[in-house]
Amino acid sequence: MSLFGRGRADYLELGDHNASCYECGRKRKASTMKRHWTGYWVCPEHWEMRQPQDFVRNVLDNQTPPWSQPPADLFRQTCSPNGSTAICDIGVADCAITDYISPMFDSSITS
């Protein structure tokens, strides 16, 4: 005899076993349990249907244009030896290298 006496699932049923509810912890026969949508087995009192809003999908919103092309006049910046030199007012943004003075640096040309 167990410490708490016999419960509702303490009987012999061939091919069935005891299981406890994931929500309340009560012991039941496994054949009476239902599988919850999260994957756990619960008693019929704690079983709930999955929220239908979990399956809602939005409408595809494709905002890309049907075609595009680059502009005709592209500005391409080239880095000169003076532009890559790290001297104030001479170095060019995105070209200047920290602590670098080009061996081809010409001090007579500004910018």
Q: What is the CA radius of gyration of the chain?
A: 38
Query: Are the C-beta atoms of 46 and 23 separated by less than 8 Å?
Result: yes
- pLDDT tens for 59-79 read 988 899 999 887 776 666 677
Could you give the CA distance from residue 85 to residue 66 in angstroms, rounded to a whole number? 44
pLDDT at res. 110: 59
The C-alpha angle 29, 34, 37, rounded to 5 degrees, equals 150
Provide the whole-model pTM: 0.46
Would you say residue 94 has pLDDT above 80? Answer: no
In tens, the pLDDT along 10-52 reads: 888 899 999 999 999 889 999 999 999 999 999 999 999 999 9
